Structure 1
Amino acid sequence: MCEHMRPASAFWSFRENISPSALSVTTDGKHTVVGTQNGLIFLNSRGRPLWFNKKIRKVADVSVSTKSGKIAVGSSQKVLYLVNLKGEPIWHRELDSSVIAVSISSRGNLIVVGTDLGKLILFDGKGKKKWEVHLSNSDFPVNSVDITSDGEFILAGTDYSHLYLYDSNGSVLWSKETGSAVLKTCISSNGDYLGYLTSDCKFSFCVKNSRMLWENTFDSQPLWIDMAQTADFVSIGESSNKVNLYNKSGRKVWGFANESSRMGVMASGGGNVILGNKGGIFNYSLEPYLKRLLTGCKRSIIKATEENLDVTESRKIYDVASKNFSNANFSQFLINIHKARNLAREARVIESDSVPSERRLERNEVEEDPIVPQENTEDEMMAKLVQLAEMREKGILSEEEFIMAKSKLLRI
């Protein structure tokens, strides 16, 4: 398919004599936390600094909880801090090793920490240590940690080439060898999907049980990854001046050329990407791609309507999603557009005279990216097989329907 690469102008930029060491952005994308060796900076929706906390030094990672208004800050000086949205300290805890990665739950009641000596530690919102484990019983650094919105699942990747999924009680649900050091991780809001970037230029996209849906090996080492809360797409900083978005089936669906940056994060609501480099922080809007999702859903509803199917509920939710988009409430937009798309799909499945598996297959062919024509390549075939397997796992397709649809696809 075509590259869809285009130069983009930053929605705003913050240009100061700083060298960011960590970034975090609120779910709605309206506030950005910047960590540096000299302190913590909090930017508003226009990229203007609201405060600068110079007491917290050598920031290694930051994570902001939008709902609770709390920010977890990990320092390489072996300290974990919790501050409010005014930059005022709530508490701090001294550790026996340097913090590399932190992640805070949506309600701010759980904070996970990864250290340079292989420790994975969970604190509650009051600073009490709930548990601590030594990953792989080795001192290889824990490079990345992520906790789901409800705090039920914790993802951790290490320099020891291992990936772990823990529950909030400290029980390991699984671990897997990754072949190369895990540099970055990301996880959906409910933990159903996760992704990880390894030092061999590879990104992998999995479901909760660790089964891989797809992977992509790049020509050069990507710099960062992040995932929308619904997992509808992931953003990958493929180089210092290129960001691309990939959907659930691993297809590149959008991208843009950006000002040179070495780190980045995406608002989990999916509305924007924050990039950072020495001397500047940049905010890029993802509205053009989200508008495509809106257009694609509308086309699906129109197609179902033309087939005399009942899309009343789908149209209602679509209208809500459209208002979400107009109000820049991208977090709710992603949830509702996903729901509207599913309702349109189910209407077509239930009402159609065709074999259910065939209708579902057709729906997947046209809805993933209706604006971009698909090619009958091995990659596209694999993407469709992955979609069918995912539908079977979720109970949307029965085993018999899965086999029928798979057979039809392989005959194409």
Structure 2
Amino acid sequence: MTAPTTASAAAALADRETLRLCTAGSVDDGKSTFVGRLLHDTKSVLADQLASVERTSADRGFEGLDLSLLVDGLRAEREQGITIDVAYRYFATDKRTFILADTPGHVQYTRNTVTGMSTSQVVVLLVDARNGVVEQTVRHLTVAKLLGVRTVILAVNKIDLVDYSQERFDEIKADFDAKAAELGIEEPHVVPISALKGDNVAERSDATPWYTGPTVLELLETIPVQHGRADDLDFRFNIQVVLREHASDYRAYAGRVNAGSIAVGDEILAPYGRTTTVAGIDTADGPVDSAHAGDSIALRLADEIDLTRGDLLAAGSRPEDVREFEATVVGLTEKELRAGQAAKLRIGTAFVRARIASVDRVLDIDGPAGDDTSPEAVALNEIAHVTIQTADELPIEPYAARGAVGDFLLVDQSSGNTLAAGLVGKRLR
């Protein structure tokens, strides 16, 4: 067999899929060490970084490498009062490249976890083997479900501190599997690891002969990368900019394809029941015959229609225009959301006046008390079901495909601060 050429090997590496993942867990569950271990064992650490970690570890009397130091810069910045919602780390293997969103563990930063999970295809939840599944684990699992994350890996960390006990691992796995089943998380993966010692993170451990499943890295390399969910939907395109060039009579509508695909000659469904066809599709690299979810394009239409920023162009079907809908929201600021409160709604590229018609239910994910079905407000980091009314009719549809459609922000009218992030539920009228 002929060995692959350097060019073919380079091409194979360039064609590697990219998986986006997020880490989450409670404080002191070992997330920093886990992320450091992944970076170290995939050889994604520069030599000078590693040398610095070795020196600092030795100065602190640490046996071996304190891999948490590889991400401690972020922690130091937070201690200085610098706000950093999510830190992104990049690493790669021969099979894939990875973008890792490292989120804070404290309960007060649930909003940051929402940010990290919102673009992730896989969530790695860490728990301390001594503590097992705790309230914050359930909170993060709930957020993952709400955001439509398909794959959750539970890394039972510090398994070395319970003497690599299979009995303790099985207890935690049974508890987690039950919680995942309640929330409808299909086929969660549970792996016993020691981020400090490297057990079952990137390499299989001889200390857990009773565990025959894959390592965390093996899971990350083999879990299918979900590409087609947004492509499976009907075409959705929110106009961001209207392009006009009077000298050449050029008119096009620029934006990003949120969902589906479109081709020259396809019928377009515009606002107010108007229809037209696609006369051309322009990109930064020139005209193309078709475009798909994620592409930034400028659409030229066959007919002159009065369209503006925020309007939705669709194909196949068009969402119903409504002024009231139910939604799930996550509180993002210390200013509470209350019934009757006015706000600005940003959905797609539209930005309209709205009000919280009612706060219907606040989810209880911290204990067995049950949801609050008569809440007065939605506080920071709380997850709630609300009803929203808008000043103008909008083509709104339920949340799908990881934010391809149906996600929005509520913005404070006076300060411009983001009050909440939301997912559209049922359209009302």
TM-score over 0.5 (shorter chain): no
TM-score normalized by the length of structure 1: 0.30
